[in-house]
């Protein structure tokens, strides 16, 4: 059973791991995510809202990545006061109810005090894994699991250029106040107008995929900071998003490009989950 299933990256990972599934229960309320799942895995039993699940037993594997907005550094930092992050306790409820042989919970890298609360409920310490080991994406995540002998993945040394081509680098678009005298950020100087700049990464990876396109843009020149009017850039394509999440190209093509980016930004890096699942006997 997969809670907060999204586009069923967990089902993809099980398939890629060679683990046969008799029944796959999915709990997801986003209709576009459910469309993608049904298109690729028509036998999925979709349960809808996690808060309404009460009659499922005999689960071998419980997986999920509860909404992370309350824990993310990109959010407001409300932690368990965020109504989305409170859904973590639905995972705990069903973990206690179904008593699966194996479980996996994923979330963002967060403050140790919040991490420890989750650990106290789940009963195991998390493992930190960065998707950059199996992908061209810098994506830091925590994984709580009782699957034994999970180690760090081997570094596949995949670059953004392997996906987008040799002449593309990754950056992000940011609104900044730049002091014209020093050419440095002057964030609190309200006399300086906010302008949009491209800030490039120093390595050959991308930033963490999110639901916001401007967090990842492809550029022709790798410069520390450049006005958007002075540099050639483009949005990443949905197919590049899929490759960065190690999802098959075209997997999300049943919905619009903007929906594809959002769903993939909310998803898992499949090959990280494959690496964890390989220890299931």
Residues with catalytic function: 68
Which of 280, 277, 279, 278 shows the shortest CA–CA distance to 10?
Answer: 277
| Residue 221, C-beta contacts closer than 8 angstroms, at least 6 positions apart | 169, 200, 231, 232
Characterize the bridge pairing of strands 178-179 and 217-219: unpaired
Own/partner pairs for 84-89, CB < 8 Å, 24+ apart? 87/4, 87/50, 87/51, 88/118, 88/121, 89/121
Which structure tokens are listed for 203?
A: 């390595």
Q: Estimate to the nearest angstrom the gap between the alpha carbon of 154 and the chain centroid.
A: 20
Given the DSSP bridges, would you call strands 169-176 and 195-200 parallel, antiparallel or unpaired?
Answer: antiparallel
Q: Which helix (H) or strand (E) holds 71?
A: none
Taken in order 212, 216, 217, 218, the sign of the CA dihedral is negative
- Helix or strand or coil: residue 172? strand
CA distance 40 to 10: 13
| Tokens coding 93 | 């409820």
């Amino acid at each position: 059973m997969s809670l907060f299933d999204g586009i069923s990256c967990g089902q993809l990972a099980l398939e890629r791991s060679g683990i046969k599934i008799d029944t796959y229960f999915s709990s997801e309320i986003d209709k576009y995510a459910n469309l993608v799942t049904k298109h690729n895995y028509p036998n999925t039993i979709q349960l809808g809202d996690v808060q309404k699940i009460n009659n499922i037993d005999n689960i071998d594997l419980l997986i999920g990545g509860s909404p992370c907005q309350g824990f993310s550094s990109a959010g407001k930092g409300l932690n368990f006061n965020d109504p989305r992050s409170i859904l973590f306790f639905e995972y705990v409820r069903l973990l206690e109810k179904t008593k699966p042989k194996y479980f996996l919970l994923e979330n963002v890298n967060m403050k140790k005090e919040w991490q420890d609360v989750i650990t106290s409920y789940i009963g195991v310490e998390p493992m930190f894994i960065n998707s950059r080991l199996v992908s061209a994406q810098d994506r830091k995540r925590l994984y709580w699991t009782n699957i034994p002998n999970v180690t760090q993945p081997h570094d596949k040394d995949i670059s953004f250029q392997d996906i987008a081509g040799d002449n593309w680098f990754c950056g992000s678009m940011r609104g900044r106040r730049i002091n014209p005298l020093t050419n440095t950020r002057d964030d609190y100087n309200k006399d300086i107008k906010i302008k949009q700049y491209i800030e490039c990464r120093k390595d050959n990876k991308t930033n963490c995929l999110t639901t916001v396109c401007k967090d990842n843009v492809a550029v022709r020149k790798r410069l520390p900071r450049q006005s958007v009017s002075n540099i050639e850039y483009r949005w990443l394509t949905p197919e590049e998003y899929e490759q960065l999440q190690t999802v098959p190209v075209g997997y999300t093509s049943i919905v619009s490009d903007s929906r594809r980016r959002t769903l993939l930004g909310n998803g898992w890096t499949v090959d990280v989950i494959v690496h964890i699942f390989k220890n299931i006997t």
